[in-house]
Amino acid sequence: MLTSRNEAGYLRTRLIETIAQAAFEGTLMEKIDRIPLELRPRSGDSSRCCVYKDRAVIRYRIMALLGHAVEEETDELRPLADYCLESLSERRRPSPSLTVLDIACSSCRDGGHIVTDLCRGCVARPCMTNCPKKAITIIDGRARINREACVDCGKCRQVCPFEAIAFRTVPCETACPVGAIAKDDSGKAVIDENACIHCGRCSRSCPFAAIMERSSILPVIELLKDGNAVAMIAPSIAGQFPGTVNQSVTALKLLGFSKVAEVAAGAEKTTEREALEFAERRSGGSAIMGTSCCPAYVRAVKLHAPEFAPLVSETPTPLTFTGREAAERFPGAPRVFIGPCFAKKAEVLETGAAEYVITFEELGALFLARDIDVRELEESLPDLRAGDGQAWGYASSGGVAENVARYIGGSGKNLTCPTVSVDGLDRKALNRLKAAAAGNGPEGLWEVMACEGGCICGPGTVGHPKIALKALEKKISEGLTEEARAS
Amino acid sequence: MRTVTVTVCTGTACYILGGSELLTVKEKLPKRYSKYIILQGSSCMNRCGERSEKNRPPYVSVDGEIYGGVDMERLVELIMEAVGGDVC
């Protein structure tokens, strides 16, 4: 797995900034087809084989940033300005499906253990003797792995004294928790939309950054120019930007949002409702309930572990509750959810809880485009706020179940709520859910987070998870102190 | 060996372009270095407009000397060099 911030991430954020700057100025239509040339001048360095290839890749990145799928291109000569016009005129909401930049994809070769040139065909042959499947033979003084027999257990790699055995991996395929990525005839990655859960892990693990989300920044910038949009901020915003959350609130207002709503406010309602739902289910004899707020996991259950689906809570997500309240409190104002998550784009298409979704990375790029330095701003209070700050805990793994369990424990009926945390979705986690549905799992509230670590580790984040967790804990404790002072 | 002041720029550009990760640098250093490091964030160093490889966010200053385009590995190197000597 790549570190959260790397060269590919740097280039992507800066490209979003460049596009946003021109969009705010109203010069995007004139400039857009020149941007690839300006970012990769003929005399400059290239990231790939040459500047021309870099420019082509930037062109496709821009298409994704305009909300288009690279796969929909039918004419390579179609100007970007055309795509731009289309996005602007319809202010369209892009599909949540990720897009593969086929020319950026390196067609990584299939994975598995391979013997490298470091092999000396030694006499001890620990690889051969330790292989549980007898998949290794020594031919011409060198170990060979029989791919048919090999199960990629890795024992040979561990015991080789020359470190001659390597594991060749295809990062996107390895990262995908549901096996939704395959290769076409030319070896390029292809995403099966009917299996994809929009967790975004492939896009952030590809070292060529060849998989991108389709962005809504263009229509959102238009809303900001209109000046009446509501920003609904996910609790995981803590630690994404320098300074405090309430300084980020000021930054959002400077950017052009008219109102700011904490999605933590909706999380309080989710907690309450989920606690009631769990109590009802328990009295009905069902002792396992899965949380409902992570859309990538909910979709994964639907598509890949349907036996667990009846156990998933039907309680609306914090975003849904917040979207409803924002619509009541600020009638007519378009709502933009700002979070760490790609899967929320699919969620709002289903629920209508927000008009658009953008990520923290995109928001950060908008701040840069408008030269807003969050750290230097005064604080301001959001227009829609959560109570004591506990609900902010939803942003990290364990926090959702903790909130619900605390609510149940505090309800005065002498009830307890056992909790189970499934921290990060993978094949094993899906199997755990299937087993639980078959009655082989501990009873309790099962909190499932698709991203290991929770939302603060989502694909759309820019703050380091450890720093974000510290900021989050601070936000929660400040909320508690404030509440105590008020009462 | 000596005590070194490490200042990570936490202007918005530096912070979101890798600076927040650099704030976790102590975890990447051998433990015995910790007591020689004063780690702090700073307001914008006003150099984020530049975009060349060495002059770009995130910026870090090690004992007053400013470096641009710093990643975690580079920062660890810079710190170990600045602390110097046999650290034990």
Query: Can you name the residues that pair with A335 across neighbouring β-strands?
Result: A230
Determine the Cα–Cα distance for residues A357 and A232; give it in Å rounded to an integer.
9
Q: To the nearest 10°, the Cα dihedral for A150, A151, A156, A158?
A: 160
A5, A375, A466 member nearest B17 (Cβ): A5
Strand partners, B5: B38
Sign of CA dihedral A12, A9, A7, B26: positive
pLDDT of residue A3: 63
Q: How far is CA A347 from CA A338, A350, A357, B19, in A?
A: 13, 5, 10, 32
Per-residue pLDDT band for A104 (boundaries 50, 70, 90) equals very high
Are residues B18 and A5, on separate chains, in Cβ contact within 8 Å? yes
pLDDT at A85: 94
Note whether A466 contacts B: Cβ–Cβ < 8 A.
yes
Cross-chain Cβ contact B17/A13 below 8 Å: yes
**Residue in B12, B18, B51 nearest the CB of A242:** B12
Which ipTM did the prediction report?
0.92
**Residue A374 sits at the chain B interface (C-beta within 8 Å):** yes
Identify the H or E element spanning A119.
Answer: none
Which chain B residues are within 8 Å of A5, Cβ to Cβ? 17-18, 20-21
- CB contacts of A4 in chain B (<8 Å) are 21
The answer to whether the peptide bond before residue A242 is cis (omega within 30 degrees of 0) is no
Chain A interface includes B24 (CB < 8 A): yes
Which strands make up the sheet holding A444-449, listed edge to edge?
A: A288-290, A444-449, A419-423
Shortest Cα–Cα distance, A193 to chain B (Å): 31
Write the residue in A373, A463, A468 that is nearest to B11 by C-beta.
A373
Q: Does B51 touch chain A (CB under 8 A)?
A: yes
% of chain B residues with pLDDT over 90: 72
User: CB–CB of A5 and B24 under 8 A?
Assistant: no
- Its pTM stands at 0.94
Write out A439-478 in H/E/C secondary structure: CCCCCEEEEEECCCCCHHHCCCCCCCHHHHHHHHHHHHHH
**Is A447 in contact with A419 (CB distance < 8 Å)?**
yes
For residue A445, pLDDT over 80 is answered with yes
How far does the CA of residue A16 sit from the closest CA of chain B (Å)? 12
Reported as a single tens digit per residue, the pLDDT across A120-152 is 999 999 999 999 999 999 999 999 999 999 999
Cβ separation B17–A10 shorter than 8 A: yes
Residue A61 CA to residue A365 CA, distance in Å, equals: 15
d(CA B33, CA B79): 9
**Chain A residue with the nearest C-alpha to that of B50:** A14
User: How many CB atoms neighbour CB A138 within 10 A?
Assistant: 15
Quick one: closest CA in B to A375, which residue? B11
Categorize the per-residue pLDDT at A366 as very low, low, confident or very high, splitting at 50, 70 and 90: very high
A252 residue type, one letter: L
For the stretch A230-258, pLDDT in tens is 999 999 999 999 999 999 999 999 999 99
* Secondary structure of residue A191 in the 3-state scheme: strand
Closest chain A CA to residue B12: A373
Beta bridge partners, B4, equal B37
